[in-house]
Amino acid sequence: MSAEANVGTDMDMDKGTLQIQGLTKSFGGGRPVLVDLDLDCPAGSRTAVLGPSGIGKSTLLRLIAGLELPDAGEIRLGQALVSGPGWALEPHRRGVALAFQAPALWPHLRVRDNITFGLRHLGQAAARAAAEDWLARLRLDGLGGRYPDQLSGGQAQRVSLARALAAGRPILLLDEPLSHLDPDLKSALTADLDGWLRAAGTTLVYVTHDPAEVAPLCDRVLGLADGRLKAAMPPPSS
């Protein structure tokens, strides 16, 4: 069967469920980073994936977002098959938003335009209002007119987070999203994120090497080791 034949419609992807079966990924013929990995995320669930640097966390999120092609296995969003061996539906058609580990902002666009870029379907005024709203929520008021090279690392990371949140997709993928923030801001934004995602019913996959970050935000914690996910860790205490 061709890849296109069983790809679902956008409506199929609205449901916020994520299912991964048998996902395997290697780079350049080396030892696979992910091996026969399974993951099942119900709509509205919040899953943390913990593991040390280099274990494959970002690779997993990039595969879910459609930025990498699996060697083997399948990814489904809602009812729709969106990735299979050697192919992937384009990222913007998947109902998924990803905040990258290293903020990937367009250098030639102002901060607010980095956010409105993905909101053009709303119309200019509404997109601009949404961008300013998310900037304010992330304590970035007044920075909308700056260019990315005029931001600190922590500010750029929050712009990247604002862009992913503003997209309003049913599934949100966060790759070490708070790593550049000081502890007070980190805990305040963690509490805010909890409220925003709960209100929207967003399905979350949050990857980090830091167990302390995920306890308030996620309802289960999985460990990534030897290319697979394991429910090795106890549920978070808070």
- Positions touching ligand ADP (CB under 6 A) are 27-28, 33, 51, 53-59
Binds 42: which of ligand ADP, Mg ion, none (CB < 5-8 Å by kind): none
**Taking the complex as a whole, how short is the minimal distance between the CB of residue 57 and Mg ion, in angstroms?**
5
Contact 228, 37 (CB under 8 A): yes
Binding mask 1-40 for Mg ion (x = CB under 5 A): ----------------------------------------
Q: 3-state DSSP call for residue 2?
A: coil
Which residue number, 57 or 76, has a Cβ lying nearer to Mg ion? Answer: 57
Which residue number, 134 or 206, has a Cβ lying nearer to ligand ADP? Answer: 206
Question: Residue 90: which H helix or E strand, with range?
Answer: none
Which residue number, 55 or 111, has a Cβ lying nearer to Mg ion? Answer: 55
The burial of 4, by beta-carbon neighbours within 10 Å (0-12 exposed, 13-18 middle, 19 or more buried), is given as exposed
Contact 181, 26 (CB under 8 A): no
How far, in Å, CA of 13 to CA of 90, rounded?
13
Nearest 5°: CA angle at 169, between 2 and 206?
Answer: 95
Query: Phi/psi of residue 41, each to 5°?
Result: -115, 110
**Taking the complex as a whole, how short is the minimal distance between the CB of residue 56 and ligand ADP, in angstroms?**
4
Does position 208 bind Mg ion by CB under 5 A? no
7 Cα distance to chain centroid:
21
**Taking the complex as a whole, how short is the minimal distance between the CB of residue 150 and ligand ADP, in angstroms?**
28
Q: Which of 17, 47, 101, 203 is in the footprint of Mg ion by CB under 5 A? A: 101
Touching Mg ion, residues 35-64 (CB under 5 A):
57-58
What residues make contact with Mg ion under the rule CB under 5 A?
57-58, 101
